[in-house]
Structure 1
Amino acid sequence: MSQGITARDRQARFSAYTAFAVQGLCFASLVTQVPRMQEVHHLSDATLSLVLLMVPLVAGVGSVVSGALFQRFGSGVVLRVSQPAVAVTIALIGLTGDLSFWGTTPRPPMIVQNVALYVAVAAFGLFVGAVDASMNAQAVAVERRYGVSLITGFYAVWSVAGILGGLWASLANRIDMPLFACFAIAAAAGIAASLATGHRLYGRGEEGGGPSAEELKAAGRRVPWRPILIVGAAMAVAYLADSAVSNYGAKYLDDELSGADWVAPLGYVAYQVAMVISRAVADLAVRRSGPVRVVRLGGAVGVVGMFGVVAAPNAAFAIAAFAVAGLGLAVIAPVCFSAAGRVDPTGLGVAVARVNIFNYVGFVLGAAIVGAIAPLSADNGLRIAFIIPAALILVVFATARGFDPAPVKGAHPDAPAMERPVA
């Protein structure tokens, strides 16, 4: 650890941890309530898939826009604004299902409530993208100050908060709490934590700056695309499976395995618990056995877990299978970013940024593919749809050798890498 760490750096680190925790809590609180949102708004499976697909598409826009704002305002300011906004939009999504809460009589037509839902979900996606970019920028700034890799710890915090969010959703359903109240309480906790710590994030002058647009353009020509495409393919299928679990796991337990309302969120909880465990030992495993073996093992475990989900005869079996899938899938993304760092001669993170594109590709494809197949069968639509991400994880085996590329001159193979959380 760097000897120049100050109290200011420790404050920024704690604030960044808090940002990851708030994001994990808000995201989990929302995705684990997908079945109830569908019920409240009377959405068909096809319409639901469009609503879920909207989030990653708009999030990509939010990420790009926020990146453009960093040089002017700094990522800390963007995060301080966008994170409370994410929490507010969570509450608004819950409110769209209960517009009578506003005192309107008679109750607004369902089409009005659904339009309000689309607007709220689009706003959620926009601000999620902004938070995604800015909290990663803060984490990387903290790593730069400390001089050691800390990113796994940030994402472990994200996963732990996601577990708490899933458990909260389960409890809320168990006591039959209105959806708006469930979201509003989680949102209030997130807003309070964000406002209490946001002012301690690094400011624009403290983040260490970044390359200019001209520097990035010149650097981009020096980064080879072939190794990026190889690990990017694995990244995409990992996030495709993650998208399927996050968006449709609770619905699968609720609709096709007849799980109670309070049971449905537990699949996501088990998935995240397994991810925390896997990430706790992944770094040591890579050091001992190498990235290729770790990725192959992760892919094998992920395939077993996802096919276990497909074959699950009941909710309990499916929850255990989701945990197995999380145990395997958790290792793929971090090793992807590590491999990217080995082929980047610029030291500017160009390769990491390129690999990062593939997580958005995977998340969009996951929502689109599962959402398109699920309505085709009334009884087993999601079971059939989960076969696609399960089978595509086999791509990891075909690309495994690409996870240990020969480092190019000027690359920093041991430098911290930035990743997006697997939901």
Structure 2
Amino acid sequence: MPTPRDRQARIATFVVYAVQGLSFATLLTQVANLQNKHHLDEGTLTLLLLIVPVFAGVGSVAAGTFAARHGSMLLLRVAQPIVAVAVVLAGLAPSVPLLVPALLLFGLAVGAVDAGINMQGVAVERRYGRAVLNGFHCLWSVFSLAGALWAAAASSLPLSVIMAVPMVLAGAGSLYAGPKLCTVDEEKTETAVAATGHFPWKPIIPLCLAMGFLYIGDAAVSNFSTVYMEKILLANAGVVPLAYAAYQATTLAVRLGGDLAVRTYGPASIVRIGGAIATLGFLGVVLAPNQPLAIVAFGLTGVGLSVVAPQSFSAAGRLDPAGTGVAIARVNLFNYVGFIVGAALVGGIADATDMRVAFAAPLLLAGVIIALAPGFQPKQTAEPSAA
């Protein structure tokens, strides 16, 4: 049974996931306002936005090295407040030369935090001895949605205020949760490789590929669902956002019950089913004859893809029973690789052909996730802590 200390760490981990969702949404929902404020053309905006995933990848790799020695608790206590500060600085930046370092700082810190919160999530899951990681990702989605709703409600306020107010809450949450997270000793259950942080790539390749393919699909939906609805299906302004809304709604709904499903059927089965549903969803997008069916299809992609990330991190944790965090950081890196490749791949195919054909790329890659599913249930080399 979980101890009071385990429950304390779990609550703190819920908080840091919530803070990350809120912080990420606060910046992303203001991209259009930042573009208008700094008079950026589409090409310049794209280059600036690439700063975030590129440097987030650097931050994720650095987080793996840092956490292997010092633990993810210290990592989060340092990096998560920096994310909040970077969001505020981005809102305050009066010019592009000052916006760039704010985005660079955000990218580095957000990559480190993404890795760190999942290290904590896996540590809590290990101590509980059962699947709990979907619940953390669910709360991330809830607070990401809350950040978007705040942006809509506060749209008449100055940009700096819109971006600063949520970050006051984010900073407070981070400071509250930091001391209550799993310590470095609580994260590590073995000492065989804890001191070196050396970890082989081979066991986690299926997880890395699945994570990359997931985020290629996510990038396709996030960046191009509105374009697809408007240009291909001629949807009006009120209908255009519904495709992405369906994707996010089903993602949240599935994560609400994801932990129970994993405990019942096992992670490999859940990922296999998720890959199949995502494939069906993208097939529906490619073939959709009308707007309602397209919206349903985008919702199916959310159902299928939503299970992959939590199970990727969970499986990486099982492959790294020493709790170094190196495997988790490497898997997290493919979050950003997938998002960058997805935007370029789908956008490039759309330019060469059309948007309907472009969605065939994530369709094929979602199908590959089905074949990668066995890698999500590796043999556990150590028993969970009897906490």
TM over 0.5: yes
Give me the whole-angstrom Cα distance separating, in 2, the residues matched to 1:391 and 1:371: 11
What are the residue-to-residue correspondences of 1:385-404 with 2, within 5 Å? 387-404=357-374
User: In structure 2, what is the equivalent of residue 195 of structure 1?
Assistant: 175
Say yes or no: does 1:125 pair with 2:107: yes
Give me the whole-angstrom Cα distance separating, in 1, the residues matched to 2:283 and 2:8: 42
User: In structure 2, what is the equivalent of residue 103 of structure 1?
Assistant: none
Residue 16 of structure 1, aligned match among 13, 18, 23:
13
Q: Give the match's secondary structure for 2:154.
A: helix
User: In structure 2, what is the equivalent of residue 242 of structure 1?
Assistant: 218
Structure-2 change in CA distance of 1:161 and 1:41 (3 Å):
same
The AA in structure 2 aligned to 1:361 is V
Give me the whole-angstrom Cα distance separating, in 2, the residues matched to 1:186 and 1:195: 14
User: In structure 1, what is the equivalent of residue 28 of structure 2?
Assistant: 31
The AA in structure 1 aligned to 2:219 is S
Q: Could you tell me the TM-score, scaled by structure 2's length? A: 0.80
Q: May I ask how many residue pairs the two structures share in their alignment?
A: 377
Structure 1 unaligned runs (5+)?
100-112, 417-423
Shift of 1:20: 0.2
Structure-2 change in CA distance of 1:320 and 1:296 (3 Å):
closer
1:51-104 CA distances to partner (integer Å, 9 max, x unpaired)? Answer: 2221111011112223332255432122112111111111111112xx3xxxxx
User: Is the CA contact (8 Å cut-off) linking 2:188 and 2:322 kept in structure 1?
Assistant: no
Give me the whole-angstrom Cα distance separating, in 1, the residues matched to 2:162 and 2:304: 31
Give me the whole-angstrom Cα distance separating, in 1, the residues matched to 2:151 and 2:226: 11
User: Is the CA contact (8 Å cut-off) linking 1:211 and 1:348 kept in structure 2?
Assistant: yes
Structure-2 change in CA distance of 1:247 and 1:186 (3 Å):
farther
Q: Could you tell me the TM-score, scaled by structure 1's length? A: 0.74
Structure-2 change in CA distance of 1:400 and 1:62 (3 Å):
same
Q: Percent identical across equivalent pairs?
A: 42
Structure 2 unaligned runs (5+)?
none
Shift of 1:362: 0.5
Structure-2 change in CA distance of 1:304 and 1:224 (3 Å):
same
Structure-2 change in CA distance of 1:394 and 1:36 (3 Å):
same
1:307-361 CA distances to partner (integer Å, 9 max, x unpaired)? Answer: 48x9886xx998766544322321233455567688x5x7457766654443332
The AA in structure 2 aligned to 1:90 is V
What are the residue-to-residue correspondences of 1:291-310 with 2, within 5 Å? 291=270, 293-304=272-283, 306-307=285-286
Give me the whole-angstrom Cα distance separating, in 2, the residues matched to 1:11 and 1:253: 45
The AA in structure 1 aligned to 2:117 is M
Structure-2 change in CA distance of 1:264 and 1:197 (3 Å):
farther
Shift of 1:159: 0.8
User: In structure 2, what is the equivalent of residue 157 of structure 1?
Assistant: 139
The AA in structure 1 aligned to 2:36 is E
Residue 91 of structure 1, aligned match among 88, 92, 111:
88
Structure-2 change in CA distance of 1:352 and 1:128 (3 Å):
closer
Give me the whole-angstrom Cα distance separating, in 2, the residues matched to 1:257 and 1:283: 36
User: In structure 2, what is the equivalent of residue 139 of structure 1?
Assistant: 121
Give me the whole-angstrom Cα distance separating, in 2, the residues matched to 1:401 and 1:137: 26
Structure-2 change in CA distance of 1:282 and 1:116 (3 Å):
same
User: Is the CA contact (8 Å cut-off) linking 1:166 and 1:266 kept in structure 2?
Assistant: no
Shift of 1:414: 9.8
1:15-56 CA distances to partner (integer Å, 9 max, x unpaired)? Answer: 111000010011112222222222222222222221222111
Give me the whole-angstrom Cα distance separating, in 2, the residues matched to 1:194 and 1:284: 28
Structure-2 change in CA distance of 1:266 and 1:119 (3 Å):
farther
